[in-house]
Amino acid sequence: MQAQLLTNALRRRPEFEVMSCPMNVLSISQSAASFLPRVALIALNPGSITETVAMLRPFHLSHPGIAKVILADSCGRDLVIRAFRSGARGILQITEANLRQLSKCIVRVAAGQIWANTEQLNYLVDLLSEVPSMRVINSGGNPLLSPREEQVVALVAEGMGNRQIARELTLSEHTIKKYLFRIFEKLGVSSRVELVLYAVNNGDPRSIDWNHAAGRIRSG
């Protein structure tokens, strides 16, 4: 109902040509191929947010030239990060926006700009400052490494040398070597190349809040 009302409202504005379709991969792909839109508005149903966001990535990869805008009832940190990681160029909390704001969002995104409020941008900026982590698990899904060791593995996978890793984590090179020795021993590998291959095949890239991770390391 909300999507239909929104579609009808946008159709009354002369600057837009609007087409709607069901929220599934096949319908969206077919509509995009036939209509060739400049902007795709993707309305999230509160009951299927995870499925819809998961659908956004393959849609973005198959149609990278279409700017995607997420419309949601609420825009928490996790949703904002997942949306932009999946290819969104804008996100709008529809419960707090009016038609004028939505129209402005569409025009800006179509022009190549990003649409996000200050709080949402802060989520993305904070993410960039976090130390990455590579969660390595065994066949039972249990972590094999400590949080700090996971951070070292992630930085090795990014191609950093021991000196760069030490600078990134504010540790000595000697400490990094000790971490790598323990990591090699735990995972049964003998070189950085083997470690990267192991991490790629068995790891789960993620970001850890630095203070939270450091607290767990100190307490352990």
Percent of the chain with pLDDT strictly greater than 70: 86
pLDDT value at position 101? 94
Quote the pLDDT of residue 132.
Answer: 61
Q: How many CA atoms lie within 13 A of 114 on its CB side?
A: 11
Sheet strands (E) in 29-177:
39-43, 67-72, 88-93, 132-136
Residue 7's pLDDT band (cuts 50, 70, 90)? confident
Instruction: Compute the C-alpha angle 45/48/53, nearest 5°.
Output: 90
Q: What is the pLDDT of residues 23-33, one digit of tens each?
A: 887 888 888 88
Among the listed residues 140, 158, 148, the one whose alpha carbon sits nearest the alpha carbon of residue 195: 158
Q: Residues spanned by CATH 3.40.50.2300 within the chain?
A: 2-127
Say whether pLDDT at 216 is over 60: no
CATH no. of 2-127: 3.40.50.2300
| Fold exhibited by the domain 130-219 | Arc Repressor Mutant, subunit A (1.10.10)
- pLDDT tens per residue, range 92-123: 998 888 999 999 999 999 999 999 999 999 98
Report whether pLDDT(40) > 90. yes
CA dist., res. 91 & res. 69, Å (int)? 5
Q: CATH 1.10.10.10: which residues of the chain? A: 130-219
Lowest mean pLDDT among 7-16, 65-74, 132-141, 203-212: 203-212
Task: Say which residue, 219 or 42, is predicted with more confidence.
Answer: 42
